[in-house]
Amino acid sequence: MLQQTDRLALAVPDAAKSAADLNAIFDSVVIDDSVDADANARRITLQWGFDQLELFEPLGDGPVAEFIEEGKRGLFAGGFALDDPGHLAGKIADAGIPVTQQGDRYMVFPKDLRGTGVILSPMQENEKAGMNDRIWQITYTVPNLEEGVEFYGELFGLQDALTSYYTSQVWGYRGAITWFHSQKGAGLDSLEFLDPYEHDKAAGRFLAKTEGIGGIYMSC
């Protein structure tokens, strides 16, 4: 099962500029600059507190270019750490979802999983860099709350995790938060689901932009 959030991947038109801008604001630092052949993209990795940000710049046709061309610039994938990412990756593949192995980590591209790209990495301790401490929540927008929680819960092995349900009348959605046991010095680490019922508000507009499929709405 997923154990903690540990990274975000952003699709951007210019990874170097995005890295420079983020580093100037948040004091994050570049720890890797390489080519991701599977994504056909330049990938710049920033140390962001105890976690990491990955900036994907398309080098040609591929999942990153497709994501940007569809107007979905921004949250390309959410990353999670666990003791045995290979085991969970195998379970996801057995469900008929394409999984790409990249060394000791595994990636699912957004188009293959309801708009929610996923990176599974082994647990590791990183030295903190910059002003932020960590990524503590990744939020999916889904067209049906109960079905979404059940689907991802089964897929990610979270059936026994505590899930809290709530309604936001201000923002016009029903929500659920599945909690992880935080490993990074604070009590909050989670995967959130939003099911909009007021489609003129932000989450509803996002869901409509994805043609009702959903995707990664935000992260904190």
Residue 130, domain member (yes or no): no
Summarize the confidence of residues 199-217 as an average pLDDT.
95
Q: How far is the C-alpha of 219 from the C-alpha of 201, rounded, in Å?
A: 18
Residue 99, C-beta contacts closer than 8 angstroms, at least 6 positions apart: 89, 90, 92, 93, 106, 107, 108
Q: Would you put residue 41 in left (φ > 0), alpha (ψ -120 to 50) or beta?
A: beta
Do 169 and 73 reside in the same domain of the chain? no
Q: Is residue 65 part of a domain?
A: yes
90 lies in the same domain as 64: yes
If asked whether residues 179 and 110 sit together in one domain, one would say no
pLDDT for 72: 75
Total domain count for the chain? 2
In a domain, 86, yes or no: yes
Do 9 and 108 fall into the same domain? Answer: yes
Q: What's this model's pTM, rounded to 2 decimal places? A: 0.95
Q: Is there a domain that residue 83 lies in?
A: yes
Task: Say yes or no: 28 and 101 in one domain.
Answer: yes
The pLDDT confidence band at residue 39, using thresholds 50, 70 and 90, is very high
Same domain, 113 and 149: no
Domain end, chosen from 79, 96, 122, is at 122
Q: Do 46 and 115 reside in the same domain of the chain? A: yes
Alpha-carbon span 6 to 120, nearest angstrom = 9
Same domain, 18 and 118: yes
Domain span at 148: 137-219
Please give the average per-residue pLDDT across 139-161, as a whole number. 96
Q: 41 and 95 share a domain?
A: yes
Instruction: For residues 8 and 102, state if they share a domain.
Output: yes
The pLDDT of residue 1 is 87
Q: What is the pLDDT of residues 55-69, one digit of tens each?
A: 999 999 999 999 999
Same domain, 116 and 146: no
pLDDT in the model for residue 185? 60
Query: Which CATH number do you get for residue 105?
Result: 3.10.180.10
Q: Are 156 and 4 in contact (CB under 8 A)?
A: no
> Residue 190: inside a domain, yes or no?
yes
